[in-house]
Amino acid sequence: MRRLSEALERIGRAAILAWQIVKVLPRPRLYFTSALQHAYVMGIASLPLVLFMASLGGAVTSQQTGAQFTGGLPLWVVGSVLAASMLTELGPLLTAIVMMARIGAAIAAELASMKVTEQVDALYAMGRDPVAFLVAPRVVAGLLVFPPLVMLANLAGIGAGWGIGLLAIDGLTSNDVIYGMRFYFRPWALIFSLLKGTAFGAAITFIACFVGLEGKGGAEGVGRTTTSAVVITTLVLMILDLMFAPILKAF
């Protein structure tokens, strides 16, 4: 019962933080420059790993599709499955996993460290709003940086899947892949991919900020907070993924 009550209190505090962010958003001069700096660091730092992970995802998808469908279905299906998988699932999700590990964990650790060393209190003491100074720039940066990263991840995954497919699947040609992708493609898949990526980006940065600001208890507490941020974000990402599935079907 106590645990349930604590969990509900935590959800309440998260909702209050979300509302405080919404209230800050109409005043971009408080956070936008900082958000651009964070977006630059997030994007540049994460891009190589995002591209690498997406390439691996694309390469695995095309090979497994080829292995399972060869002889049963025409080979152009590889192109369709590759495009569908990357755009609707792997591109956003793999980007989110990289960003959660690289950026989410770093944000949670940084803010928790600031909390336990009274730096957050110092902001309050100076009459500054920690939400405008610390949280809004990071969340906005996540919103700015995720869509382009997801698009690049989609391209890298499709490119790698295409190339590896040609090498690994007997009889597959580029014409098959192109035909399959064109057969599948609809603009909604691209919009869906961007929406999903944006939601993932907001979730990762928001959860990292919230959990980080709840940090307490010295170095060990910072470690616990970081672990907690990664675990909660993983769960939330999978739940969001589940919630997005019916939206794809609806259009």
Partner 1 sequence: MIEFRNLHKAFGSLHVLRGVDLVVAEGETLALLGPSGTGKSVLIKHAIGLLEPDQGDVVVDGISIARATSAQLRRVRRRLGYVFQNAALFDSLTVAENLWLAQNDEGEERSLVGCRAEAVGLLRRVNLDESVLDKLPAELSGGMRKRVGVARAIASKPDYLLWDEPTTGLDPVNADNIDELILELGRQLGVTSIVVTHDLDTAFEVGDRIALLYEGRIRAVGTPREMLDNTDPIVMRFVRRNRVEAAKG
Summarize as ranges the residues that interact with partner 1 (CB under 8 A). Answer: 27, 29-30, 110, 113-114, 117-119, 121-129, 132-133
Nearer to partner 1 by Cβ, of 30 and 77: the residue is 30
Nearer to partner 1, 23 or 186 (CB): 23
Q: For residue 10, what are the CA distances in angstroms to 59, 74, 100?
A: 41, 52, 21
Q: Least separation, in Å, of the C-beta of 48 and partner 1?
A: 23
Residue 33 or 68 having the CB closest to partner 1: 33
Residue 180 to residue 75: CA distance in whole angstroms:
8
Q: How far is the CB of 113 from partner 1 (least distance, A)?
A: 8
| Helix axes 32-69 and 77-85, enclosed angle (nearest 10) | 150
Cβ proximity of 210 and 17 under 8 Å: yes
The candidate with the shortest Cα–Cα distance to 108, out of 13, 240, 239, 231, is 231
Q: What is the nearest approach in angstroms of partner 1 to the Cβ of residue 123? A: 8
Q: Which amino acid is at 167?
A: L
Distance CA 139, CA 131 (A): 10
Residue 29 C-beta: closest distance to partner 1, Å: 6
Which CB, 123 or 190, lies closer to partner 1?
123
Q: State the Cα–Cα distance between residues 222 and 18, nearest whole angstrom.
A: 22
Q: Return d(Cα 200, Cα 240) in angstroms, integer.
A: 8
Tokens of 23: 């209230």
Token pair, residue 186, equals: 């609809």
Q: How far is the CB of 90 from partner 1 (least distance, A)?
A: 34
Q: Which of 182/216 has CB closer to partner 1?
A: 216
Q: Looking at beta carbons only, is 38 or 196 nearer to partner 1?
A: 38
